[in-house]
Chain A
Amino acid sequence: MSSVTSTSAAARAYWRSLDQLQQTPEFTEFLHREFPVAASEFPQGFSRRRWLQLMGASFALTGAAGCRWQSDTLASLPVRPANRVPGVPQTFATSWELGGYARPIVVTSYDGRPIKVEGNREHPDSLGATDALSQAMILHLYDPDRSTAILQQTEQPAVERSWDEFAAELEPVLAAVKASGGAGLRVLTETSSSPTRSRLQTRIASEFPQAKWVEHNAIPVRNAIAGAELAFGRALRPHLDLTAADIIVTFDDDFFGHHPAGVRLAREWADGRVPEAGPMKRLYAVESQFSLVGGVADHRLPMKSSDIPRFLDALEELVDKGLAGAPIEESHDDSYGLKFLATVAADLLAHRGKSVVSVGETQAPAVHARAYRLNSKLGNIGATLSFLPVPDPSPIAAELSTLVEELQAGKVELLLVLGGNPVYTAPAGIELAAAIRQAKWSVRLSNYVDETSLACQWHLPAAHPLECWGDGISESGRLTLQQPLIAPLFGGKSDIELLAWVLGDVDATSQSLVRQTATTLLPADRFDKEWRKLIHDGFWGKPAATLSPTLRADLNLPAATPAPTDLELVLTPSPSTYDGRFANNGWLQETPQPLSKLTWDNAALIAPATADELGLKTGSLAALHVAGQTVELPVYVLPGQAPGSIGVALGYGRTAAGHVGGLLSDGIAAVGVNVYGLRTGAETVLTKATLKGTGRQYPLSTTQDHHAIDTVGMTEIAGRIGELVREGSLGEYEAHPDFAQHKVHHPPLESLWKEPSSDGRAWGMSIDLSRCIGCNSCMVACQSENNVPVVGKEQIARGREMHWIRIDRYFKGDVNQPEIVTQPVACHHCENAPCEQVCPVAATVHSPEGLNDMAYNRCVGTRYCANNCPYKVRRFNFFDYNAKYEAANTELSRMLMNPEVTVRERGVMEKCTYCVQRIQNVKIGAKNEQRAVRDGEVVTACQQACPANAIVFGDLNDKSSRVAALHAGPRSYAMLAELNVQPRTKYLARIRNPHPWLATAAEVHGHEEAHG
């Protein structure tokens, strides 16, 4: 895989002869990494346009080019690195950091351009899958809005400086700071797991004892740890292991969301939800706002976050009773809450040591502590819930508030702001921007000239995670490496490089720093071997030993006080922009939020009941008032939201994000509304909120809107869902494993003409609805793999999104306690495809292997195929959505394009191809070796990304293939089979595992009803 090893003598000699390269820091990396000339030359003088022309020659960049009159030039490498074959992608195991933990990934590089992020199969925290954010982070590497230069902003307008000029200016300041033992030195950054960074931090602590180190996280990652401190007397972080957990009870905890272990937990969960594969887990969710976890829960109780502590108290009480020997009876109370409580308690008691109670970061430490106690009472600690040590706080650690005071007092000589975006994420009452201006010297290292950069005197371009070395600890405690795939496009530096600089280590490269740290972590005797292993695998060693601590003897937790009955506001990280750092990421902005299906906005999510009370509707603009602060934002009525609770996503309303996320200086309005100003600290649950309609409307763009639908439609939908997304209870499954195939009855299906037979390979896909958690990972992966354009909010509003795979979400049952079902839908590659028959120019035809080929360059755009597609998976280029890639200033973004996939022109139809480019490459390789394609050798992008392993692809004619087995299985059904389109994509019915006490009538006699 990685060629980051030694370098051939010839190459070295050859490079040594280049003096212009020798100075640049890239050079050393280059030397070791043997980058293609093109990539390394890119940032230096060498025009981008030219570069792309050249690259463009050797592979397909746009569907339009290529006619005789345009002459192409071939840029052959002067020296081709070992193991490099032009046009053959290479992959490198690396990682990036989010929320204080390393996220392991494998990145595909095409002729020196990283173009695709995938999971690291070997890494236990990835298992080959990724979340949507990891898939999308690569977009920032080629973001034309990235900061390209060092800016001295003391001048107005800001002037561009070179690194040398900056060094010259910094020297005296550093000297002064050193002299004072760092009295005036302050570092403002985010929590990180990087061993290298903590090594440098310790060095700073020792060399600058007077300095202060402030960590500010927009999304708190501390409550669980503080809770452990309460419960066990020492700071520990919880580590869930769902493999052993049969009963899972969550309180406001979306561990499938942005949780650092989300990918692993999703896999563990999904593996426990396949009825064929043994006993099924059961999940109870108590939450104020529909989360991914709530979406897959067997029983979900919508409850205000501020009421959850008391509910947990009650639960513990009941469990205590049970433990004392009193049996717990089924509650026949009318209140669903009490029924729920009794059931959960009973189920927990019945599964001691095989259950887990988990609480989310929205809840206070005390609540976490109580949950830990409950778990230990149930004997879950050590079995399903264990703990990992957290690094001791640095001696120079300080709070943001203190920093601000010191800044205002003018005590700060040199302020380094590394990463994060504190000015934007700072809570109300902290005038950080103003304060920073009080610092004598403020330096900002960032990928973008963002809100914080504008407040600092100096802005330095940061290197993207794919441009520099780094390291981190993944959730399970493994050392995970971050290695660059391309030299910094704009000569950016990484935070560790800057810290080393402050420590006087000016020439230290990120690589040397990381390697140095590694020497302390890897066995010295066979260091080189292990170092190579680390680079190859992307991680090293076993997980840190988990702890199962015992409760403090003197632990007593005050009973939770009843929360005020008025509206509460719950602030959550945005599924799309996280804390706002992805605001300029078009892919994520356009990825519909899993439950609301909202794009390009955040909104006040409220329950239908609350909406009626307040007389608000989806799309009405309301004034949200809390703790003296007011913002105006649109309302979105979301069934399943806890009545009385308002959910709003953080991470919107950026004013200096870029041309996608909002850039006031260029008159580009912010996307969504910034609600950081509503909180006074790090808390995410605020009580005593009010929401008043302003009488104005605000257009929201959703990719699926059920609530604009009249009663005629709603009744029909209710009738259809059961046939489209088939699901049943475990009981139902055990009674009739093939119940799904009997949900729809239709006459024998006969075709008008001879049906295409495929006796060679027959590609097919199986999607397990029992596994799918609706996390959108597949959508972003597909977008990245297949060059799917971003169309923008207005086009989405018109229903013109381009996603090749989408996740349909339907609500079921009582509008106040709905269940949801999610269903990924991409082209079904029907054997009897309606689209093929009606295309007048035969632009979409069947391949012998059963692919529904789409020849973009034959398409004239009558759109008839899309009309005739019952699954509505065909996407039409209503405008030239790729024009932005031709625009002169954005060739950079073109570098992201996957050369294996044609970029579609205006006026043509497009759709999922089953990643035909991957199929072809595997096939050709196999044929060259004169062997058959192995099962699992072709992996589609969506399948690759899926954390839950819900998607399986392969050859249906190979009876030993996984997909053939799944298609033959009892749960397998074809959506809309009654149309006789014979789809190659089939679904596996979703199985719920309800507790008999809470099961609905349908779940008990579902099958009979289906026969009706």
Chain B
Amino acid sequence: MNRFCFPGWIDRLLPWSAAIATALAVYVTGVVIVGAAPSTLDVGYKPEQPLPFSHALHAGKLKMDCRFCHNTVDRAAFAAVPTTATCGKCHSGADMSGVTATTSVHANSPKLLAVRESLATGNFIGWKKVHDLPDYAYFNHSAHVARGVSCVSCHGRIDQMDEVKQVKELSMAWCLECHRHPEPHLRPKELVTQLDWVAPESPEVLGAKLREALKIQPAENCSTCHR
């Protein structure tokens, strides 16, 4: 009776096929994990802005304080995007009578057209949002700034960026990391906008002191961020 049987050499293939299968599995999982990670998806996001505003110039070279423009950051949830009037303080164009203020900087620069336009028409400049949390996550700037968490902790060295890009994950795990262990990210309140500040002593130790002093207990429950 001629029974159908697989040739013997198939047995030698078995270990190989097993190995390949495992390798493939590992590879696929790896790709998925890395590919779906916020560090891959979000970090480095750098949308093109309506006009080439350089933080490196204003915050870095000119040493303007962050709060000069983002002036609600220590009072409110939103670090308000500056009004065009704020830009206008230095970059106003000609007024109704056609006179340009002598103090005005680059009054006629084509790069600043959008500013002058906005000042004249009252339409806003549509800035692209770079650090964009999901709408069900409620982040409050003042709550962090008032406790000595520096801008740099989440936004990186803005003062070195011509165009702002996202440098941190801004994922939930990333938030929790700091909420569970805030010390390294704390500094004296008045120094939050000094992006180049380096802790005189170990940030851990200093942070621990500050935490003690300000009674900082970062919450980890859902309603802290989700309402």
Contact stretch, chosen from B3-11, B24-32, B179-187, B217-225: B217-225
The CA of A54 and the CA of B118, in the complex, are separated in Å by 16
| Extra A-B contacts (5), CB below 8 Å, given A57-B132, A78-B123, A902-B226 | A15-B122, A59-B135, A74-B126, A75-B126, A901-B227
Decide if A847 touches B136 in the complex (CB within 8 Å): no
Residues of B within 8 A of A60 (CB): 135-136, 138
The CA of A87 and the CA of B70, in the complex, are separated in Å by 14
Residues of A within 8 A of B41 (CB): 68
**Does B84 interact with chain A (Cβ within 8 Å)?**
yes
The CA of A917 and the CA of B122, in the complex, are separated in Å by 33
Interface string of B96-129 (1 = CB under 8 A from A): 1000000000000000000000111111111111
Residues of A within 8 A of B121 (CB): 18
Residues of A participating in the B interface, judged by any CB pair closer than 8 Å: 10, 14-18, 21, 37, 54, 56-68, 71-80, 85-88, 845-848, 851, 853-858, 900-902, 913, 916-917, 919-920, 924, 927-928, 930
Q: Which residue of B lies closest to A846 (CB)?
A: B221
The CA of A890 and the CA of B77, in the complex, are separated in Å by 28
Give the A-B pair count, Cβ closer than 8 A: 161
Sorting the interface of chain B by its residue count into under 10, 10 to 19, 20 to 34 or 35 or more gives 35 or more
Decide if A17 touches B128 in the complex (CB within 8 Å): no
**Does B159 interact with chain A (Cβ within 8 Å)?**
no
Q: Which residue of B lies closest to A901 (CB)?
A: B227
The main secondary structure of chain A at its interface with chain B is: loop
Decide if A63 touches B124 in the complex (CB within 8 Å): no
Decide if A54 touches B137 in the complex (CB within 8 Å): no
Q: Which residue of B lies closest to A852 (CB)?
A: B223
Question: Given that A54-B126, A68-B132, A78-B124 are contacting pairs, would A845 and B222 also be in contact in the complex, using a CB cutoff of 8 Å?
Answer: yes
Find A924's partner among B133, B140, B214, B227 (CB 8 Å cutoff). Answer: B140
Interface centre among B75, B127, B135, B137 (most CB of A within 10 A): B135
Residues of B within 8 A of A845 (CB): 221-222
Decide if A76 touches B82 in the complex (CB within 8 Å): yes
Decide if B133 touches A66 in the complex (CB within 8 Å): yes
Question: Given that A17-B96, A847-B222 are contacting pairs, would A66 and B118 also be in contact in the complex, using a CB cutoff of 8 Å?
Answer: no
Q: Which residue of A lies closest to B78 (CB)?
A: A87
The CA of A78 and the CA of B77, in the complex, are separated in Å by 20
**Does B39 interact with chain A (Cβ within 8 Å)?**
no
Residues of A within 8 A of B20 (CB): none
The CA of A390 and the CA of B153, in the complex, are separated in Å by 66
**Does B193 interact with chain A (Cβ within 8 Å)?**
no
Residues of B within 8 A of A853 (CB): 221-223, 226
The CA of A54 and the CA of B142, in the complex, are separated in Å by 22
Find A856's partner among B81, B84, B147, B226 (CB 8 Å cutoff). Answer: B226
A61–chain B nearest beta-carbon distance, Å: 6
Residues of B within 8 A of A58 (CB): 78
- Interface residues in B169-225 by Cβ distance below 8 A to A read 214, 219, 221-224
Decide if B221 touches A14 in the complex (CB within 8 Å): no
**Does B143 interact with chain A (Cβ within 8 Å)?**
yes
**Does B72 interact with chain A (Cβ within 8 Å)?**
yes
Residues of A within 8 A of B223 (CB): 847, 851, 853, 913, 916, 919-920
B63–chain A nearest beta-carbon distance, Å: 23
Question: Could you pull out 24 A-B pairs where Cβ atoms are within 8 angstroms?
Answer: A16-B96, A17-B96, A59-B135, A66-B132, A66-B133, A66-B136, A71-B129, A76-B83, A77-B124, A78-B83, A78-B119, A80-B85, A85-B75, A86-B81, A87-B77, A88-B72, A845-B222, A847-B221, A851-B223, A857-B134, A858-B222, A902-B227, A920-B227, A928-B146
The CA of A120 and the CA of B221, in the complex, are separated in Å by 34
Residues of A within 8 A of B125 (CB): 76
Question: Given that A847-B219, A902-B227, A928-B143 are contacting pairs, would A78 and B129 also be in contact in the complex, using a CB cutoff of 8 Å?
Answer: no
A630–chain B nearest beta-carbon distance, Å: 53
**Does B33 interact with chain A (Cβ within 8 Å)?**
no
Q: Which residue of A lies closest to B125 (CB)?
A: A76
B191–chain A nearest beta-carbon distance, Å: 17
The CA of A1006 and the CA of B117, in the complex, are separated in Å by 78
Decide if A72 touches B132 in the complex (CB within 8 Å): yes
The CA of A73 and the CA of B81, in the complex, are separated in Å by 11
Question: Given that A74-B127, A77-B124, A928-B142 are contacting pairs, would A85 and B76 also be in contact in the complex, using a CB cutoff of 8 Å?
Answer: yes
